[in-house]
Structure 1
Amino acid sequence: MTSLACYLGDDRKQKHATTSGIQHTTLAAICAAMFQSLPRSDQRRKGAEYVYGLLAADGRKSIRNMAALFGGRAAEQRLHHFVCSSTWDWVPVRHALSQFMVRAAPPQAWVVRPMIIPKAGDHSVGVDRRFLSDMGHVVNAQHAIGVWAASEELRTPLNWRLRLSPAWVEDKERRVQAAIPDGFISKSIGDGAVDAFLQMTACGGLPVRPIILDARDLDVAGTVGTLREAGVPFLVRLPGAVRLAVTDSALTGHHADVLPAHHIMRAARHLRRPAVWRGGGDAMPHTCLVAGVQVRLPGDAAPASLLATAEIGEDWPGQLWLTNLTNCDAAALIRLTGLMVRVDEDFEEIADQVGLRDFVGRSFAGWHRHVTLASAAYAVSVLTHRENAAVDHVS
């Protein structure tokens, strides 16, 4: 096993660590795997320093705070150049991290979720004023989309897409200042979410698992159509108003209708049955009600299942989901959607600890390199937690 000192260059640099010995071992293993595509040893060392700094630096994970672990001003210039001005390609580095994590913690699903990064100014690449429905007001922020490998055991982000509005991609001066690639175009949030997933899986070597995403604010038909065309199994959360055609023989009298999803599931309330549900974290499992009905989107002949869940005693239906996994048990699929809850909980606990939202540079490439390395730090954090929990259990 390669040691952390091999990458950081000096055992004395570990004296600043606030991380456990298990974390050092995990960090070394991840760095050895993910930086294989970097041709020079000094690049691999800088990459390891940056990931280590994200884990060990106090407070905000600025390059200055991280560089304080490695020698101050000279280290700051070195790390800044490595992330903001170097030419290394983050795509193979992310793919190597993905392969490592798939081996370390095989995923049950891929969870796609947004990441909002509030900003005070308007110079950071992609920053715009936008209304966020879950917050209920306009924020000045970057809007990124992440893809998590998720299982009940462990969840970690592996790929990212930064959303750029037309105001960014159609402004030549902004494109030049942020070094936005010539081929990059503005896409809707839904298309960006699907792109982030398809880009990750296009490299090969990753298992086929359902993609789970929240489409309540997206173009449902467009998102589902793109996923179908790509041959991807999906679980998509729906708004209640989306209209579907009923094809299920269990709902007699509705086959000629195209109805809102929540109306369909109200008519299917007699199909409800209990299922064990785990809300996330270490919460004790509890029982909710679930039901599934065969449907299709208008203009789409492909079969789909509309699923609903609600807590016992609450209004029916609660959450609504659409899936092309029509032969799977509805209760099992609904339990799978609980991974989205766990990803959200993990994000709130870990993201700022490893600086996912702390990049302050202006360049497109710099942002992507930073979140790639922060994803590695995130992976080290969750793997270390798992190892520490195992040690505590044995002791």
Structure 2
Amino acid sequence: MKKASKVAFIAKPLAIAAVMAGACASAQAQTNVTIYGRIDAGINYQSNQAGANGSRGSKWGIDGNEWGTSMFGFKGNEDLGGGLKAIFTLENGFDASTGQVNGGSGLWTRRSFVGLSGSAGTLKMGKDLAIQSDPIWALDPTGQQALSTATLVKERNWPQTNNMVSYESPNFGGFTATVMHGFGEAAGSFTKGVPTAPGVVSNNGSRDGISLAYVQPTYELRAIYDVQRDTNGQYSTLFASSKELTLGGTVTIDKLKLFAGYENLRANSVATGSPDRANHYWLGANYQITPALTLIGAAYHVNVNAGVGSANLFVVGGNYSLSKRTLLYATVGTVRNGANSDFSVEYGGGGIKGQNQNAFYTGISHSF
């Protein structure tokens, strides 16, 4: 590489950082802006992983995002008067072990929305996590770690939504409702129920959802329903383009917090013989031994039709807070596949039909 090219290569990211810093400084003068983030990395072990040429073996590595997604972002608001505020969030997810962004290319891979918030509720437009992502976090005993409610549904309950508009109601004594629509942005994708071509229905690639929550100091109840259509407007893949219903709740008794949940997936346009229904259940608990130490236990079960059968995931772990921003974690789990199921012990991994897998990870998570 020529010297001039090296200088340009180094100068470019520095220039971008300088522009972003200047923009933030300017925004600070007019808007309340917060820079926030989290970095998570640790040692990760998984057994019985598929290798080259059909081989199998254990895998050790330094990975990010086991305990939680590494991210950084900017969020802010401007007081417009009369209780109305303009709001925005820009948020990127990344893997701390490699520095690579999560969720494809681009700078803001998790959230990039602008909106208005006031006594009548909150309106957002742009990109956000899908409507079930935040509520399922509240219902998951592990808090959506790599071993979590996402494992036995192959991440169906943890996506993002592009081209979205959402509305969240005010809080009525603990009750809130949220609705979201993700536009497919394809020709003919808006006129619901009208075919755009033979065999092709409307709402191509779009997403819809509603989330209801009733939250009190010692318990909460949640119901979430969402639909994700494929590029032809069909529900064609059980763990991708499908209908999803989630019900669950938590109860807190002194230092003990109990979790229970149910998730149903349906895809009525799958190919003949492919699975089109799944039922997912879980129970779990968090117990605060000391203000710094919390123990975690959870059990998950899924049953899939069309001969796929069932699988179970069992998880135990613990979080130890060194401070309000830094914690140490350790988690161990095992997935027990039926003869025809192929779930991976950690979501995003490679499962092997009829084979069990074990996992252990430990690391550090720091928030800022």
Identify the TM-score tier after normalising by the shorter chain: under 0.3
TM superposition score normalised by structure 2: 0.27
Structure with the higher fraction of residues in helix conformation: 1
Higher normalized contact order (CA 8 Å, seq sep 6+, divided by chain length):
1
Structure with the higher fraction of residues in strand conformation: 2
TM superposition score normalised by structure 1: 0.25
